[in-house]
Amino acid sequence: MISEKQIEQKVIEKIIPSGEDKKLLQNVVDKLLEIVNKEIDSRNIPASLEIVGSIAKDTFLRNNLDIDLFLVFPTSFSKEDIGKIALDIGRKILNNTEECYAEHPYIRGFFKDFKVEIVPCYRIENASQKLSAVDRTPLHTSYVKKNLEEYQKNQVRLFKQFLKGIGCYGAEAEIEGFSGYLCEILILKFQTFQKLIMAAKDWKPGLKLSLGNTQSPDFDTPLTFIDPVDNERNVASAVSIDKFNFFVKASNEFLNKPKITYFFPNKPKLWSLQKIQSFIYNQDSLYVGIIFSKPDIIAENLHPQIRKGMRSIELSCKLYGFNILDKQYFVDEKNKTVYIILKTLKSPLSEKYSHMGPPVDLGDNSLDFKKKWTGNENTINPPYEKDGRLYVDVKRRYTDIKDFLVENISELSMGKDIDKKIQNRYEVVDAKKLVVKDLQEFWTRCLDGRMPWEW
């Protein structure tokens, strides 16, 4: 059996950039800086340029050559002005641009086939001077460059590729995983990929890590890693409980049986639509889908809204007695469609339910309860006493979850952009309309039960 060390060596050979890769990248970076500098000079702006991120720190992967360019402004400029300048320059020199908005605007696009982000920030000496969250990023770059040993650069690369392979790499809203900077400081903390994985197999939610003994606030997150350049910030704030637990599970299983598929998983062998349909219909559960058009917004805004929408749907369903066993979503980029898929019990709810009232001896409350439900059009049996409390049997408004969703989805708060799409048009469908070719891989991954490294 191939050893863990042999696997690590094979992975490093695949992911470390070659000299040719680095030379090509440097030529592109130099040209980009030259052009942007000309734009700054032509506007007579006292801003400087800084390449940040994994390229600047030499921790980037061979096939992930994104360029992060920061325009560093004096603090005398307003946020509106630095955002406008960054957008103007980006529109002029990048192709296929996408404008993004955080505390102030920034822009992403392509330059000579390389993905580039142009981000404005303020020039600061330490995090206490920050005017916006991104002002710390150049400090992060400086910190890692100063403290990361040469041999640890490939350890960071190994860790990043491991996370990519198991689907936990990236702090963006779509993934809710580990950022590149978090990977780097985790290696600084544990020294090597192997030592990090050995430690991670025993992690429990609520873990708090740091590179020093500085005082810092507590964070209500599964993983906390105090930023070494700003002890008020949790670098791991984006890591969801699902991704935290999944990483711990993957670490355990990798140590028990190391395989290269943790780093480079095979594509799943897709189930046939007939197999998917047969599996779904032979379960004791029911699948219901809500389908609507994808809002034309960036992924960082779309995915949080979808998750908010799912929470809103689940809460409303529970209030009406429907038990949601599982909830998933799928964004079909090709057809610009969003699917929210709920798994619930197959049997419809009963025609009535028992509604609990106050204790019998609560005087006015008991009288009010009896008054409200006696003769009410939804009352099946008048209020009665049981174990010292009042109860009443009430006619259930909805027994079928589809009927409930059809009538109520448009009334829920799902996020401003999704709400607009829902108000315009949506469908509530059963499994027949969910078992379609565009969702074939989604269903295969959901139903098969194997981990990414097991394919």
Q: Is 38 within the bounds of a domain? A: yes
> Do 94 and 155 lie in a common domain?
no
> Do 188 and 297 lie in a common domain?
no
For residues 372-378, give the mean pLDDT: 88
Point out the domain boundary residue: 114, 145, 176: 145
What pLDDT is stored for residue 65 in this prediction? 83
d(CA 442, CA 224): 31
CATH number, residue 420: 3.30.70.590
pLDDT digits (tens, 9 = 90+) for 303-329: 999 999 999 999 999 999 999 999 999
Q: Is 4 within the bounds of a domain? A: no
Structure-token pair, residue 423: 């108000």
The pTM of the full predicted model, rounded to 2 decimals, is 0.91
What pLDDT is stored for residue 363 in this prediction? 78
- Would you say 416 and 387 are in contact if contact means Cβ atoms under 8 Å apart? no
What pLDDT is stored for residue 212 in this prediction? 83
CATH number, residue 248: 1.10.1410.30
pLDDT of 41 > 90? The answer is: yes
User: What residues does 224 pair with on adjacent strands?
Assistant: 208
User: What residues does 343 pair with on adjacent strands?
Assistant: 287, 326
Residues in the chain: 455
Q: Is 270 within the bounds of a domain? A: no
pLDDT digits (tens, 9 = 90+) for 232-290: 999 999 999 999 999 999 999 999 999 999 999 999 999 999 999 999 988 889 999 99
- The amino acid present at 197, given as its one-letter code, is I
What pLDDT is stored for residue 322 in this prediction? 94
Q: Is 50 within the bounds of a domain? A: yes
What pLDDT is stored for residue 104 in this prediction? 78
Q: Is 5 within the bounds of a domain? A: no
> Do 159 and 29 lie in a common domain?
no
pLDDT of 421 > 90? The answer is: yes
Q: Which domain holds residue 132?
A: 17-145
> Do 335 and 391 lie in a common domain?
no
pLDDT digits (tens, 9 = 90+) for 50-94: 999 999 999 999 988 899 999 999 999 999 999 999 999 999 999
pLDDT of 214 > 80? The answer is: no
- Would you say 217 and 232 are in contact if contact means Cβ atoms under 8 Å apart? yes
Q: Is 268 within the bounds of a domain? A: no
- Would you say 28 and 112 are in contact if contact means Cβ atoms under 8 Å apart? yes
> Do 235 and 316 lie in a common domain?
no
In sign, the C-alpha dihedral spanning 435, 436, 442, 444 is: positive
pLDDT digits (tens, 9 = 90+) for 108-128: 999 999 999 999 999 998 888
> Do 292 and 410 lie in a common domain?
yes
> Which residues have C-beta within 8 Å of that of residue 17, sequence separation ≥ 6?
25, 60, 61, 62, 65
User: In whole numbers, what is the pLDDT of the chain averaged over residues?
Assistant: 94
At residue 436 the predicted structure's pLDDT band, cuts being 50, 70 and 90, is very high
C-alpha gyration radius of the chain: 27
Question: What percentage of the chain carries pLDDT values higher than 70?
Answer: 100
Using the structure block, give the residue that is written with the tokens 């964004």.
331
Output 101 or 441, whichever has higher pLDDT.
441
At residue 215 the predicted structure's pLDDT band, cuts being 50, 70 and 90, is confident
> Do 418 and 391 lie in a common domain?
no
What pLDDT is stored for residue 216 in this prediction? 85
User: What residues does 169 pair with on adjacent strands?
Assistant: 178
Q: Where are the beta strands (DSSP E) in 147-300?
A: 207-209, 223-227, 230-234, 285-293
CATH number, residue 361: 3.30.70
> Do 309 and 295 lie in a common domain?
yes
Point out the domain boundary residue: 124, 145, 166: 145
> Do 98 and 185 lie in a common domain?
no
> Do 293 and 371 lie in a common domain?
no
> Do 362 and 342 lie in a common domain?
no
Number of domains within the chain: 4
Q: Where are the beta strands (DSSP E) in 163-227?
A: 207-209, 223-227
Q: Is 73 within the bounds of a domain? A: yes
- The amino acid present at 378, given as its one-letter code, is N
Q: Is 338 within the bounds of a domain? A: yes
pLDDT digits (tens, 9 = 90+) for 2-37: 888 999 999 999 999 999 999 999 999 999 999 999
> Do 325 and 359 lie in a common domain?
no
Point out the domain boundary residue: 89, 124, 145: 145
CATH number, residue 33: 3.30.460.10
pLDDT digits (tens, 9 = 90+) for 142-192: 999 999 999 999 999 999 999 999 999 999 999 999 999 999 999 999 999
At residue 302 the predicted structure's pLDDT band, cuts being 50, 70 and 90, is very high
